[in-house]
Amino acid sequence: MIISDMYGSQWKDSIIQTPNGLYGVDTVAKKIWHLTSQGLHILSDEKFIASFLINNITLSEKDKIPVIGIRNVVSHYNAFK
């Protein structure tokens, strides 16, 4: 699923709709993004988050099929937290 020319996600379960917009994880670009009516915001550009994603996401463009417990990206939303 493509969100823009630069960011999106090949993991459909990593994209979640909330009252504040869409959130997603791009494992190729190693970014967490937020899409609202005001545009696309890259949430993971903070230094700590960026280095965590770079060091811990090992999925490549070739990894497209989820394997439970081994290879998958899922986002969750909880309105109370």
The model's pLDDT over 18-76, given as tens digits with 9 standing for 90+, comes to 999 999 888 888 888 889 999 888 888 877 777 877 777 776 666 666 666 566 777 88
Between CA 43 and CA 65 the distance in angstroms is 25
The two tokens of residue 64 are: 């497209």
Please give the mean pLDDT across all residues of the chain: 77
Between CA 8 and CA 15 the distance in angstroms is 9
Q: What is the DSSP string of 15-81?
A: -EEETTEEEEEETTTTEEEEEETTEEEEGGGSHHHHHHHHHH----TT--S-BTTTB-------TT-
